[in-house]
Structure 1
Amino acid sequence: MSRASSPGSAAFRSLPDSGYASVSGSDDEGQGQGPTIMFSKPHLQFLNRQLQFLEPQDILRWCITSLPQLFQTTAFGLTGLVTLDMLSKLKIPRPQMVDLIFIDTLHHFKETLDLVDKVRERYPLVNVHVVKPAGAENSQEFATKYGDRLWETDGDQYDYLVKVEPAQRIYRELDIHAVLTGRRRSQGGKRGDLPIIEVDEAGLIKINPLANWSFQQVKRYITENDVPYNVLLDRGYKSVGDWHSTQPVADGEDERSGRWKGQTKTECGIHNPRSKYAQFLLEQERKREKEALEAAFSKASLEPATTPLSV
Structure 2
Amino acid sequence: MPSFSTSALQFDAAQLKHINDKLSRLEPQEILNWATITFSGLYQETAFGPSGNVITDMLAAQSHSVPVIFVDTLHHFDETLELSQRSQQKYNFLLHVFKPEGCETREDFTAKHGDQLWKRDDVVYDYSVKVEPARRAYEQLNAQAVISGRRRSQKGDRAALQIVEVDKASGLVKINPLANWSFQQVWTYLRANEVPYNALLDQGYKSVGDYHSTRPVKEGEDERAGRWAGTEKTECGLHKDYFAMRSAFLARKKLQQQAEAVAAAPTAVEA
Normalised by the shorter chain, which TM-score bucket? Answer: over 0.9
Residue 236, structure 1, aligned to residue 204, structure 2: yes
| Of 125, 137, 153, the match for 1:186 | 153
How far 1:290 sits from its partner (Å)? 4.9
Q: Which has the higher contact order (CA 8 A, sep 6+)?
A: 2
| Of 229, 248, 254, the match for 1:261 | 229
Q: Deviations over 1:251-310 (max 9, x none)?
A: 1111001000001110011111213213214414643775698699x67x89xxxxxxxx
Aligned residue runs from structure 1 range 36-185, under 5 A? 36-92=8-64, 97-124=65-92, 126-185=93-152
Q: Distance in 2 between matches of 1:230 and 1:260?
A: 19
Say which is worse superposed, 130-139 or 253-262, in terms of deviation.
130-139
**Structure 1 counterpart of 2:19, which letter?**
L
Q: Distance in 1 between matches of 2:260 and 2:156?
A: 40
Residue 19, structure 1, aligned to residue 40, structure 2: no
How far 1:169 sits from its partner (Å)? 0.7
Say which is worse superposed, 145-154 or 114-123, in terms of deviation.
114-123
Secondary structure, in 3 states, of the residue corresponding to 1:244? helix
How far 1:19 sits from its partner (Å)? 1.9
Which sections of structure 2, spanning at least 5 residues, go unmatched? none
How far 1:60 sits from its partner (Å)? 0.4
Sequence identity of aligned pairs in percent? Answer: 49
Q: Distance in 2 between matches of 1:87 and 1:141?
A: 35
Q: Deviations over 1:147-192 (max 9, x none)?
A: 1000000000000110011001111110111000010011111111
Q: Distance in 2 between matches of 1:289 and 1:116?
A: 37
Q: Deviations over 1:38-78 (max 9, x none)?
A: 12111000001110110000000100111120000000001
Give the structure 2 partner of residue 270 of structure 1. 238
Secondary structure, in 3 states, of the residue corresponding to 1:262? coil
After superposition, the Cα gap between the structure-2 partners of 1:292 and 1:138, relative to the gap in structure 1 and judged at 3 Å, is closer
How far 1:98 sits from its partner (Å)? 0.7
After superposition, the Cα gap between the structure-2 partners of 1:220 and 1:284, relative to the gap in structure 1 and judged at 3 Å, is same
Q: Distance in 1 between matches of 2:23 and 2:216?
A: 33
After superposition, the Cα gap between the structure-2 partners of 1:153 and 1:285, relative to the gap in structure 1 and judged at 3 Å, is closer
- Matched-pair contact (CA < 8 Å) for 2:123–2:249: no
Highest CA radius of gyration, 1 or 2? 1
Say which is worse superposed, 224-233 or 135-144, in terms of deviation.
135-144
TM-score (norm 2): 0.93
Which sections of structure 1, spanning at least 5 residues, go unmatched? 1-16, 24-35, 303-311
Give the structure 1 partner of residue 184 of structure 2. 216
Give the structure 2 partner of residue 225 of structure 1. 193
Q: What is the aligned residue count? A: 268
